[in-house]
Amino acid sequence: MKAASEPMFNVPPAVTATLAAFAVVHAVRELVLSRPADIEFLLLFAFIPARYDATVLPLGVIPGGLAADVWTFVTYSLIHGNLLHLGLNAVWLLPFGSAVARRFGALRYLGFFAVTAAAGAATHLATHIGELTPMVGASAAISGYMAAAIRFVFHRAGPLGLLRGHPLAYRVPAIPLRAALRDFRAPSWQSGSG
């Protein structure tokens, strides 16, 4: 009897769907939309801090109205500036998004994506109020996945510890945030303590 082999790529479906969404949005912008239509698309879906500053745009000339004021806090994260931007975000999403998707499940993974993307947009808005340059890319959401993964992957019994490769390794409880912030040692899986 032949032993079962590990798949070459073991990416959770939610992460694959996220990458597919990035690729479809980019392909439509590059291959389908004309330059004026692409600009209109960016005005509707990219995050533009000036949209929220009445002193810069007193007549509200950015299209989309109130709905775009809300949805752009997340939709900007599905848009990328070029293939290099898309590729770099994909490379970082694969390990960190996969770890979080395995731990959270698909719905919570997607909800976490939306929340961290919105937090990134809010931070950008606070530091770039009135700016007309659109912000695009999934870096804020991916940074959120990095932070979330760091909470549990480095535990002795976590995915990078003694149970490496075991599905239950993703279910190891994270240490409380307060304790993690007070512990200045190297991660416990490296130091041998835990």
pLDDT of 10: 82
Domain spans in the chain, listed from the N-terminal domain onward: 13-150, 152-194
**Is 145 a residue whose pLDDT tops 90?**
yes
Residues 6+ apart with CB under 8 A from 125: 47, 49, 52
**What is the pLDDT of the chain when averaged over all its residues?**
82
Question: At the fourth CATH level, which superfamily is domain 13-150?
Answer: Rhomboid-like (1.20.1540.10)
Q: What is the pLDDT of residues 150-182, one digit of tens each?
A: 777 655 555 555 445 555 555 666 666 676 666
Mean pLDDT of 50-65: 72
pLDDT of 39: 93
The more confidently predicted of residues 15 and 58 is 15
**Is 28 a residue whose pLDDT tops 60?**
yes
Core vs surface per residue 161-189: b (16+ CB within 10 A) or e: bebeeeeebbebebbeeeeeeeeeeebbb
